[in-house]
Structure 1
Amino acid sequence: MPARRARRSVAIDHSDGEPITRSDIQFSFLSHVFADETKAFSDPEAGPTKLSFRDLYINAILRSPKAKSVLKEKLAALPTFATDFAMLSLCTNVGRVAATMSFFAEMRTAQRTYHPIPCLQRTNGNLLDAPRIKHILKTSVLEGETKNVLATPAQVLARVKAGQVPPTTLPNLIFVFANHSAQIGRDHLSDMEFLDLFLPNDTSSASRARFFLWLCYHYHEGTDGTNPFCDPESPGSAPRLAALTPAQAVLENVDPDEEKALGSRLVVQREAIVQDHLLKESAKESKAKESTPGGTPTPAKPRAKRGANAKAGPSAPLKRKAHAVKSEEPDEIRLKKLELDDNEDFASIGPEVSSPLRPIHRQERHTPLREPPSPPPPPTLFPVSPPELHSHRYSPYKHSRPRTMLQHAWHVIATSDPLADSDEEPDDEHVRRDQAQRLAVIARLRRKAPTPEPEGLRAIPLHLDQWHDDLFML
C-alpha cells in the first residue's frame, strides 16, 4: 500500500494587517454551500429529522466542549453571525486559515497576525482566532467517539455500511477529506484534489459547492439511498464541475466598495489600538523610572512565606531557646542519672564497649572491641614473675567485672564533675586498675618496668597479654 502523501499547505499567506478578500476565501463557493437549504443530513440528537448542511455544521460547533458560552449565545441569537462564523470555521477546517491568524482588532499577542475579513464581519461578533476555532472543531465528535475517532475515508464508509449513520461529525469528516485530499481526488475527481475545491480555479463556485455537498452526503449518509446532490442530468452519479471562461471567472468573488471601505477602517482601528497600547506601556515604564532614584527600579520585597510558622514572628526562636534552657536539669541530678552501678551494668555489659557519644544501656548490644594480636614478646630487661592468684574474699575492695580502658574513660566522663578538685575523686578498684593499665602501657613503650614499683601492686609486665584479671594484693 503506497504511503499517504503529506498534506498540501493551502493556507492564505498575508502580511500582518492585510485584509482577507472574497477571492482569498472563495466567498462565492462558501455562500453556495451554506445557502443550500436541502435537508438531507442526519443529526444524532434530532432523531429522524433531517437538517441542512449549514444547520448541522453549526450544531456541531455548538456541541463542542471547547466552545464558550458567549460564543454559543451569539451563534444561537444572531443567524448572520452564525453563518459568517461557520464559513470561517470551514476555511479553518480545510487549512485555508493559517494558525497564526487572528480576526479581532483588540488582539495584543505578538504570536498572531491581525487580518480583517470584511465579507465575514457583517456583525460586531468576535470571530476569535485560528487556533481557537480549530480546537473547537477538533473536539467536535460524536458521543463515545473520543477514543476512536475516524481517520481515513475507508473507515468512514465501513462504519456507514455497518449501520452507524452518521459515522462522525461534519467537522471531523472534513478533516478526513483534507488529510486525504489526493485520495478523494483519485476516487471522485478526474484532475483535481479535494482541497482544490477551496482554491481559486477555473470552475464555477456553484458546481464546486454542489460537488462538495454530494461528497459530504456520500460519506455521511451512505450510498444506499439517492444522493440529493447528484448530477440532475445523470441521476446516481457525482455532479460535474462546470468550467468558466476567464471573463466569467473575473465576475466571481468581487469585493464590493463598502467591504473595501470596511477593511480600511478596520486596519486603521487596529493601528490606533496598537499605538494606544504602546503609549500606555511607555508611560508605565517612565513612571516606574521616575519613582525610583537614579532611574533604577526598586526591587520588589520578597513576600513572607505563610504557613504553620508564619505567625511565630522573630521572637519564636527566642521562645524556643528559653524553653530549651528551662528543660535542662541541674548538673547534680543529671550526673546522678548518668552514674552507673558497677555491679549491675558491667555484669550485663561485660567486655562490650559503648559509643563515645552516649552511655550504653542494657538493651543495647555492640560488637566487642577486640585488640589486634600482640607481637611475640621481646626479651625483657628484667625478669618478671607472673602475678599470684588471690581469692576475692580476701580483697579489701568491692570487686566486679573489670572495665576496659575505654569503658573506664567513658565512665569518668559521664560521672565526674569537671569543676571538682581531682584530689577529691573516689579511689576505687576501677581507678587503681586504670592507673595500673596506664603504667603497663608506659612500661611497654619504655621497654622496662617502672621504678619504683607502684605500692600495693605486683610487678608490672611489659606486655598487656600477661595481665590477670586480679592485679591487687591483700
Structure 2
Amino acid sequence: MQPSTSSQGVPSWPSENSPVSYLSRKALPIKRNDAEPLTREDVQYDLLNSLFTDPRAVFTNPGSTKQEKVAFGDLYVSALYSSNRCSKVLKEKMHDTPAFSVEFAKIALLTNVGRINTTMAFFPEMKTALRTYHPVPSLQKTDGNAQDAPRIKNCLKAALLPTEVKSTPPSTPEEVLTKLRAGQRPPTSVVNLIFVLANHAAPLSQAHFDHGLNFLDLFLPNTLLATEDRAKVFLWLIYHYLENDTAPNPFDDQYSSKNVGKVPLIRKLTPTEYERENVDSPDEIEWGKKMSQQRNQFLQKLVVEAEKKTKPHAHYVTESGNNMPRSQRQLLDEPPDERSFLFYVPSQENAEPQRAMKNYIRPSPTEGERTMFEQAWHMAKTLDPLIDSDDEEVTDYNTRVDFGRYSLAPNLNPGLLSL
C-alpha cells in the first residue's frame, strides 16, 4: 500500500489509528531491575554496529559548506556534537576519544527511538531513586561517562540544524518531505528525523512496509529478523527522507527498486541463526557482574550512612539540664574534662528517666516531739546560721521531722509523716 498524493504532490499519510500488527510502544522500552546489565540482545548490538560501521558516504553533512557526503555514523556523531545541550566536558571526551563518541552515539540512538527511556542511568554512583542503574558492557568499553538517559534526551532534543534553532523543526513526515522537495537538503537533522519516524511508526508502516512491520520493529529483539537487512531498511528510510525520495536509493534491493516507496525486504532467520547474533563475550559478562556488585555495595553504603544520620547518639548535659543556647549544647557533646562535672546520657532510644527515690523519715517511738515554739528555741541555740545546711549532720529527731516536712516532701500531707 502506498500513500495517496495530495494536490501539492506530498504523500497523504494514513491515520495514526490505523491497525498495525506490532508490539505496542509500551513494550518498546527496555525493562530491567536496578543494577541488572543490558546485554547485547537488549540493545541489539549487532544492528547498532552495522549502522555505525556502514562505509557508504551518501548523506549530506549539514556542517559542511561544500555539501560534503558522509556515512551515517559520522553524520549522527556530528549531530550530537553540535547539540547546544552537549556539555563542554562531553564534547572534549568525544573529540579526544573517537571510540567513546561512537559508544555514546549508539546509546543515544537507542534513546532516540525510545528503547532507552528516561528512567535509566549508566554510572553506578547514581543516588536518585527516580532512575535505575544499568551497566552496558558492550557499549562501555571506554572509560568515558555515559551520562544518564534524561541528559542524553536533552542533548538529542537540542540536536537541530542551525536554521531550526530559532524556529520549529518539522514534526511529521509530510513536513520533512515538503522541505526536501523545496530544495533544502538535509530538510532537518538526522536526530529529529528519527524522532519523527518513531512517533509516526503506524502510518509509515502502511506507506513503506509490508507484512505489518514498522520502523520500531527494527530495534526490537526476538523478532527473528536478520540484522543486516534491518540495518539496510533503517538506512534506506534515513536516505529517503534526508536526501531524495524519488531517485534510486543506494540501499535499494531488487524489491525496493521495482516497488517505489517500499523498503528492501527483510529476511527471516531460523532460531539457530538468530542465536548466533548478539552473543555476549565472557569478558562482557564478567564486567557486567562486577559493575552490578559495585552498584549493590554503593547502595548498602548509602543505607548505612542514612542510618547513622537518624540514630540517636550519646551526649552530655550539665546539672542544670539542657536549658542553654544551641552553640553551648554542641560544645557539651564533646567528652567531659576534669574542669566541670557533666552527666552522661546514654544513647538508648527507649530509656526512661529514673526517678530519685526519697526516703521519708519515720519518727522513733521512743522520742517525743517538741512544740513549734520549743523547736524554734532549740534550733536557735544549737544550729549555726553561717554554716551551709547541706554540711550539717542532722542528728536531732525533731530537726529531721521539720526538715522532712518542709524540704523533702513539701507537697506531702503532713499527716503521713507520723505513720
TM-score, normalised relative to structure 1 = 0.59
Q: What code does the residue aligned with 1:187 have?
A: A
Q: CA RMSD in A?
A: 2.5
- Counterpart selection for 2:278 from 246, 250, 253: 253
Gaps of 5+ in 1: 302-474
Say whether residues 1:171 and 2:171 are aligned partners.
no
1:64 corresponding residue in structure 2: 83
Q: 1:151-230, aligned counterparts within 5 Å?
A: 151-191=171-211, 192-200=213-221, 201-230=223-252
The Cα offsets for residues 189-239 of structure 1, whole Å up to 9 and x where unpaired, read as 102011000012111000000110011000001224432111168647632
Say whether residues 1:88 and 2:107 are aligned partners.
yes
Q: CA offset at residue 93 of structure 1?
A: 0.5
Provide the C-alpha distance between the structure 2 equivalents of 1:291 and 1:68, rounded to a whole number of angstroms.
48
Equivalent pair of 1:102/1:130 in contact (CA under 8 Å): yes
Provide the C-alpha distance between the structure 2 equivalents of 1:56 and 1:299, rounded to a whole number of angstroms.
65
Q: What code does the residue aligned with 1:40 have?
A: V
Say whether residues 1:43 and 2:61 are aligned partners.
yes
Look up the SS of the partner of 1:127 in the other structure: coil
Instruction: Flag the 1:52–1:232 CA change in 2: closer, same or farther, 3 A.
Output: farther
Provide the C-alpha distance between the structure 2 equivalents of 1:212 and 1:26, rounded to a whole number of angstroms.
14
The Cα offsets for residues 304-352 of structure 1, whole Å up to 9 and x where unpaired, read as xxxxxxxxxxxxxxxxxxxxxxxxxxxxxxxxxxxxxxxxxxxxxxxxx
Higher-Rg member (1/2): 1
Q: What code does the residue aligned with 2:61 have?
A: D
Q: CA offset at residue 256 of structure 1?
A: 1.2
The Cα offsets for residues 93-114 of structure 1, whole Å up to 9 and x where unpaired, read as 0110122111110111111111
Instruction: Flag the 1:292–1:186 CA change in 2: closer, same or farther, 3 A.
Output: farther
Provide the C-alpha distance between the structure 1 equivalents of 2:317 and 2:45, rounded to a whole number of angstroms.
59
Equivalent pair of 2:256/2:265 in contact (CA under 8 Å): no
Q: What code does the residue aligned with 1:198 have?
A: F
Q: What code does the residue aligned with 2:44 have?
A: Q
Q: 1:47-446, aligned counterparts within 5 Å?
A: 47=65, 48-146=67-165, 147-191=167-211, 192-200=213-221, 201-231=223-253, 235=257, 238-286=263-311, 289-290=313-314
Provide the C-alpha distance between the structure 2 equivalents of 1:262 and 1:279, rounded to a whole number of angstroms.
26
Q: CA offset at residue 123 of structure 1?
A: 1.1
Q: CA offset at residue 79 of structure 1?
A: 1.6
Provide the C-alpha distance between the structure 2 equivalents of 1:106 and 1:55, rounded to a whole number of angstroms.
31
The Cα offsets for residues 1-31 of structure 1, whole Å up to 9 and x where unpaired, read as 8652497221011111211111111111111
2:406 corresponding residue in structure 1: none
Instruction: Flag the 1:150–1:233 CA change in 2: closer, same or farther, 3 A.
Output: closer
Equivalent pair of 2:34/2:134 in contact (CA under 8 Å): yes
Equivalent pair of 1:230/1:236 in contact (CA under 8 Å): no
Provide the C-alpha distance between the structure 2 equivalents of 1:5 and 1:156, rounded to a whole number of angstroms.
21
Instruction: Flag the 1:204–1:2 CA change in 2: closer, same or farther, 3 A.
Output: closer
Q: CA offset at residue 292 of structure 1?
A: 7.9
Equivalent pair of 2:100/2:142 in contact (CA under 8 Å): yes
Equivalent pair of 1:227/1:236 in contact (CA under 8 Å): no
Equivalent pair of 1:226/1:236 in contact (CA under 8 Å): no
Instruction: Flag the 1:105–1:161 CA change in 2: closer, same or farther, 3 A.
Output: same
Look up the SS of the partner of 1:281 in the other structure: helix
Instruction: Flag the 1:285–1:161 CA change in 2: closer, same or farther, 3 A.
Output: same
The Cα offsets for residues 95-151 of structure 1, whole Å up to 9 and x where unpaired, read as 101221111101111111111111111111111111111111011111231432111
2:367 corresponding residue in structure 1: none
The Cα offsets for residues 275-306 of structure 1, whole Å up to 9 and x where unpaired, read as 223333333444x7446869x9x9989xxxxx
1:23 corresponding residue in structure 2: 41
The Cα offsets for residues 399-442 of structure 1, whole Å up to 9 and x where unpaired, read as xxxxxxxxxxxxxxxxxxxxxxxxxxxxxxxxxxxxxxxxxxxx
TM-score, normalised relative to structure 2 = 0.67
Look up the SS of the partner of 2:34 in the other structure: coil
Instruction: Flag the 1:292–1:112 CA change in 2: closer, same or farther, 3 A.
Output: farther
Equivalent pair of 2:50/2:228 in contact (CA under 8 Å): yes
1:445 corresponding residue in structure 2: none
Instruction: Flag the 1:42–1:291 CA change in 2: closer, same or farther, 3 A.
Output: farther
1:4 corresponding residue in structure 2: 16
Q: CA offset at residue 76 of structure 1?
A: 1.3
2:351 corresponding residue in structure 1: none
Look up the SS of the partner of 2:164 in the other structure: coil
Look up the SS of the partner of 1:54 in the other structure: helix
Instruction: Flag the 1:234–1:271 CA change in 2: closer, same or farther, 3 A.
Output: closer
Provide the C-alpha distance between the structure 2 equivalents of 1:283 and 1:290, rounded to a whole number of angstroms.
13
Look up the SS of the partner of 2:125 in the other structure: coil
Instruction: Flag the 1:293–1:63 CA change in 2: closer, same or farther, 3 A.
Output: farther
Look up the SS of the partner of 2:115 in the other structure: coil
Instruction: Flag the 1:164–1:290 CA change in 2: closer, same or farther, 3 A.
Output: farther
